[in-house]
């Protein structure tokens, strides 16, 4: 029967019984998101090998449980940058969240607060930093895209500081968009009213073109800018987007307070290493106690366990919470976080690990060298 599509479904007001894992939310979200926004969310660079490798790296790694260990007093608390959290799940920065739900970042921050999860607010948020902060019940982190100059970047940092944000996350792996990245397709457009309200919209989107080195890369930050930002910031500074162990050492030398090991969800450089494949080597470089977060490929609680076993202090969740946001708004975000935390607790219990500090590669079969 012919006819015009009715368009995306409205978000659910209650969680149905068949939404029991992150994968269920991904399937459900498709009915709540239009083609334009779905391509933006799901897409990756080039052939999207890194998008798939991020998750596949976790599937290849097998657990080696010790089921008779005493875990009766287990817990999942973690300390990050002076704050204690109930669990190691941090919401990664995702731009333009009103593409996926009418309330956008306001719904996300409500869902995060219900589960004591830090939310990292994107430079390209569709809600003001101050309005998000007014709704926050858990610490907020601010993700900064370098604004082409120290002056413009500092202005955003000062706004975040004044609004009460607790951590500054400088993303360094996306100065130029990936080749054939779906978000750069000619037919992708931000709908009317969906704009990055905290920056100049005209400056937020890099223009297409082939003059990479004299164009966007000429305005990208360098190590001297990182050291300057550390000196200027009143917040702990974290670098997001490092994969190379030598860069981890340079970050420490620059005074950076933590690192997010990430390949930008496979959205910028295809065939870049999966974060899980390199985090153990980076942990070796930075030593015990230095905050390392893993971003990319987390889809279940056992993935969180594996990331921590290889050296992560905590993890960032990206696409899965946007699937939940699109499906059921703040309720979906909170439910997705609860599912992941419960899966982590079950994995810890069955493996014989009562705390995050006791998770190690001893619980993995053939861990990477």
Per-residue pLDDT of the chain (369 residues; tens, 9 = 90+): 344 456 899 999 999 999 999 999 999 999 999 999 999 999 887 788 888 889 999 999 999 999 999 999 999 999 999 999 999 999 999 999 999 999 999 999 999 999 999 999 999 999 999 999 999 999 999 999 999 999 999 999 999 999 999 999 999 988 765 444 444 454 578 898 999 999 987 665 555 555 666 566 667 899 999 999 999 999 999 999 999 999 999 999 999 999 999 998 888 888 999 999 999 999 999 999 999 999 999 999 999 999 999 999 999 999 999 999 999 999 999 999 999 999 999 999 999 999 999 999 999 998 887
User: Residue 36: which domain range?
Assistant: 22-61+75-350
Q: What's residue 219's pLDDT?
A: 75
Q: Is the dihedral of CA 221, 222, 224, 228 positive or negative?
A: positive
Find the farthest-apart pair of alpha carbons in the chain and give their distance in angstroms, rounded.
Answer: 65
Distances in Å between the Cα of 55 and the Cα atoms of 89, 253, 301, 360 are 17, 31, 13, 20
Assess if residue 87 is contained within a domain.
yes
Asked if the structure places residue 226 within a domain, the reply is yes
Give the predicted TM-score (pTM) of the model.
Answer: 0.93
User: Is 264 noted as a catalytic residue in this protein?
Assistant: yes
pLDDT score recorded for residue 205: 53
pLDDT of residue 1: 38
Q: From the DSSP assignment, how many helices (H) and strands (E) are in the chain? A: 12, 12
Domain assignment present for residue 187? The answer is yes
Q: Cα–Cα–Cα angle for 53, 111, 147, nearest 5°?
A: 65
Residue 202: what pLDDT? 66
Residue 200: CB atoms within 10 A of its CB come to 10
Report the pLDDT value the prediction gives residue 215, as an integer from 0 to 100: 62
23 vs 157, 166, 328, 339, CA distance in Å? 35, 31, 15, 11
Residue 165 lies in a domain: yes
Residue 325 lies in a domain: yes
In a domain, 247, yes or no: yes
Query: Residue 265's pLDDT is what?
Result: 85
Distances (CA, A) of 171 to 5, 118, 362: 38, 17, 32
Comparing C-alpha atoms, which of 221, 293, 284 is closest to residue 257? 293
Q: What is the pLDDT of residue 34?
A: 95
- Which residues, at least 6 apart from 258, have a Cβ–Cβ distance to it below 8 Å? 80, 81, 167, 236, 238, 239, 290, 291, 292, 293, 313
- In the chain, the number of structural domains is 1
Q: How far separated are the first and last CA of the chain, in Å rounded?
A: 58
pLDDT of residue 206: 52
Provide the token pair at 125: 């948020």
Note the pLDDT of residue 217. Answer: 66
Element of type H or E holding 80: strand 78-80
Catalytic residue among 101, 264, 323, 335: 264
- The DSSP result for 326-356, as a single string, is HHHHHHHHHHHHHHHHHHHHHHHHHHT--SG
Is 145 inside a domain boundary? yes
* Total count of residues recorded for the chain: 369
Which residues, including other chains, have CB under 8 Å from residue 186's CB and lie 6 or more apart? none
- Say if 216 falls within a structural domain: yes
Do residues 262 and 295 lie in contact, with contact meaning Cβ atoms separated by under 8 Å? yes
pLDDT, position 369: 73
CB atoms within 10 A of CB 31: 10
To the nearest 5 percent, what fractions of the chain are helix, strand and coil? 45, 10, 45
Q: The CATH number of the domain where 141 resides is what?
A: 3.20.20.70
pLDDT of residue 2: 43
Q: What is the pLDDT of residue 228?
A: 98
d(CA 112, CA 96): 17
């Amino acid at each position: 029967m012919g006819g015009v599509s009715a368009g995306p479904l409205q978000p659910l007001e209650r969680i149905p019984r068949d939404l029991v894992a992150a994968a269920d939310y991904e399937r459900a979200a498709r009915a709540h998101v239009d083609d334009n926004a779905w391509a933006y969310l799901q897409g990756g660079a080039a052939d999207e090998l890194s998008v798939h490798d991020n998750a596949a790296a976790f599937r290849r790694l097998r657990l080696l449980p010790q089921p008779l260990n005493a875990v009766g007093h287990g817990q999942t608390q973690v300390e990050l940058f002076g704050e204690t959290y109930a669990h190691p799940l941090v919401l990664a920065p995702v731009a333009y969240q009103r593409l996926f739900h009418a309330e956008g970042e306001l719904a996300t921050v409500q869902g995060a607060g219900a589960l004591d999860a830090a939310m990292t607010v994107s430079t390209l948020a569709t809600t003001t930093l101050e309005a998000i902060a007014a709704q926050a019940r858990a610490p907020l982190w601010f993700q900064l895209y370098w604004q082409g100059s120290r002056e413009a970047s500092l202005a955003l940092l000062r706004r975040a500081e004044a609004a009460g944000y607790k951590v500054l996350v400088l993303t360094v792996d996306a100065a130029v968009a990936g080749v054939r990245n779906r978000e750069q397709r000619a037919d992708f457009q931000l709908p009317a009213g969906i704009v990055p309200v905290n920056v100049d919209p005209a400056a937020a989107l890099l223009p297409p073109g082939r003059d990479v080195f004299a164009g966007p890369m000429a305005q990208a930050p360098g190590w001297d800018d990182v050291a300057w930002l550390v000196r200027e910031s009143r917040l702990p500074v974290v670098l997001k987007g490092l994969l190379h162990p030598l860069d981890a050492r340079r970050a420490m030398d620059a005074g950076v307070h933590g690192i997010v090991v990430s390949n930008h969800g496979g959205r910028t450089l295809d065939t870049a290493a999966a974060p899980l494949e390199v985090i153990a080597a980076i942990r070796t470089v930075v030593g015990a106690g230095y905050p390392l977060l893993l971003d990319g490929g987390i889809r279940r609680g056992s993935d969180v366990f594996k990331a921590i076993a290889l050296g992560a202090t905590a993890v960032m969740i990206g696409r899965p919470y946007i699937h939940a946001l699109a499906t059921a708004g703040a309720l979906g975000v909170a439910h997705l976080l609860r599912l992941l935390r419960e899966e982590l607790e079950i994995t810890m219990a069955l493996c014989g690990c009562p705390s995050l500090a006791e998770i190690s590669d001893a619980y993995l079969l053939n861990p990477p060298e």
